[in-house]
Structure 1
Amino acid sequence: MGRPAKPLISRGSTVAASIEIIDTEGMDAFSLPRVAKHLNVSTSSLYHHFADRRELMTEVAKEIMLEAVVPGHPQGKDWVEWFVDLSLNYRDAILRHPNAALVLVQFLPRDILTSTYEKCARILDDAGVPAPLHVVILDGLEKLSLATTLTELMRQPVGSTEIFPNVDARRHPTLTRALATNRWSSRELFVVTIRGFLAGVVSGAPAVESST
């Protein structure tokens, strides 16, 4: 029997199948044999494209993050709002794959976003943001975006919209009042957090510079 005209699988199709399994069946169902069955190939075929499970998981994490759309260069737009839009796009990409939260925590390589960081640094530079603040902004936004979104995904029960679960009015009266007056959704709280972080970094710049 001759070889098929086209390979039965590729790196791309294997990553896509892995994401589909994780999305629909959860991480507990994921395994290389399960992916092979989904693709109707032998498990050994996967090793022609990936050295091991870790390499495949790394590619899955990359693919999820690369789903986020990087906005075009802001023309006359407040640079802060450009970073809010970018952070929201990463949040949305992660939330589309709630079962993959642990994949992102364990396997996301930081260098996957290096080209995006270069664009971000240019936008900060064009906006007149001092160069010593660029790294703290980029590093902080990455940590905030990932941490807040992954925390939201890992709330129990899954999909819960409670900001602080298990709050008891008798034992936590002040927090109960705060929650009662909150009118922001999770998405709006995320935006406020990003804006507040950026405002704090910029307003604190003189103090940082004077201490160096």
Structure 2
Amino acid sequence: MRSDSRSKVGVMGRPVKPLISRSSTIAASIEIIDTEGMDAFSLPRVAKHLNVSTSSLYHHFADRRELMTEVAKEIMTEAIVPDLPSGTHWVEWFVDLSLNYRDAILCHPNAALVLVQFLPRDILTNTYERCARILDDAGVPAPLHVVILDGLEKLSLATTLTELMRDPVGSSEIFPNVDPRRHPTLTRALADNRWSSRELFVVTIRGFLAGVMSGTTTTMTDASLRDFIGS
């Protein structure tokens, strides 16, 4: 009796199960970027890593940009949105959330610039909604919600990228190449600093939130908002 080869092979001799998937391609892309850097990344390099032809990738992604967008999404979804235990102040929740985004980016330092170029904001829309609800429940004036959400995203990304851009990466120097003779005031400031990079990040986030909230009232009118932003 002859076995039915169709159980293993599809039409035109193609395997019934695809050799690659979107998820495996995204994972391979992140692995290449993490281990070899962005300069090594290309669709042919990903295809070689997966042991398939480059044309196979186009069954799942229209082009390099679409793949990079999915890579950016995958990295950011690694950031855990913390729970809000009863009695926790909203500022503490936002500090924890910002730290989680920072840690997710630091886990993929070579891919950090991918987030700047390719991360679509719609991937975080549900998180923004949850953030807005927490601000609303805490009595934060509605005109400040977007200021806080937009500012925290930009601040978290910018400060983390700045940390990654230090040469060499991982250096504990906050400001490199400081000469005590030419930069005496900055040298003293660095000597007096007792905060690690992570602690400085927390201080920056707290400072931003404190600054936004300073002088606000539960009811913020258009006039008071204009006074607040100085316009």
Render the CA deviation track for 1:18-59: whole Å, top value 9, x for unaligned: 000000111111110110011111000000111111111111
Is the Cα contact below 8 Å between 1:137 and 1:198 reproduced in 2? yes
Deviation at 1:178, TM superposition (A): 0.3
Render the CA deviation track for 1:174-196: whole Å, top value 9, x for unaligned: 01000000000000000010011
Render the CA deviation track for 1:125-178: whole Å, top value 9, x for unaligned: 111111111010001100110000011111111221211111111111101000
TM-score by length of 2: 0.86
2:109 — aligned with what?
98
Aligned pair 1:42/2:53, yes or no? yes
Deviation at 1:88, TM superposition (A): 0.2
Is the Cα contact below 8 Å between 1:94 and 1:101 reproduced in 2? yes
Moved more, 101-110 or 48-57: 101-110
Structure 1 CA distance for aligned equivalents of residues 85 and 211 of structure 2? 21
Deviation at 1:5, TM superposition (A): 3.2
Deviation at 1:74, TM superposition (A): 3.8
Render the CA deviation track for 1:73-110: whole Å, top value 9, x for unaligned: 34210100000000000000000001112211211112
Structure 1 CA distance for aligned equivalents of residues 82 and 170 of structure 2? 28
Structure 2 CA distance for aligned equivalents of residues 82 and 201 of structure 1? 16
2:151 — aligned with what?
140
Moved more, 184-193 or 97-106: 97-106
Relative to structure 1, is the Cα distance of residues 104 and 147 closer, same or farther in structure 2, using a 3 angstrom cutoff?
same
Aligned pair 1:194/2:196, yes or no? no
2:69 — aligned with what?
58
Structure 2 CA distance for aligned equivalents of residues 109 and 190 of structure 1? 24
Aligned pair 1:128/2:139, yes or no? yes
* Identity level (%): 90
Give structure 1 stretches of 5+ with no counterpart.
Answer: 205-210
Q: CA RMSD in A?
A: 1.3
Structure 2 CA distance for aligned equivalents of residues 147 and 177 of structure 1? 26
Deviation at 1:3, TM superposition (A): 2.9
TM-score by length of 1: 0.94
Give structure 2 stretches of 5+ with no counterpart.
Answer: 1-11, 216-229
Structure (1 or 2) with the larger CA radius of gyration: 2
Render the CA deviation track for 1:3-27: whole Å, top value 9, x for unaligned: 3232111111100000000001111
Give runs of ≥4 in structure 1 deviating > 3 Å: none
Structure 2 CA distance for aligned equivalents of residues 166 and 18 of structure 1? 35
Structure 2 CA distance for aligned equivalents of residues 54 and 80 of structure 1? 36
The count of aligned residue pairs is 206
SS in 1 for 2:23: helix
1:11 — aligned with what?
22
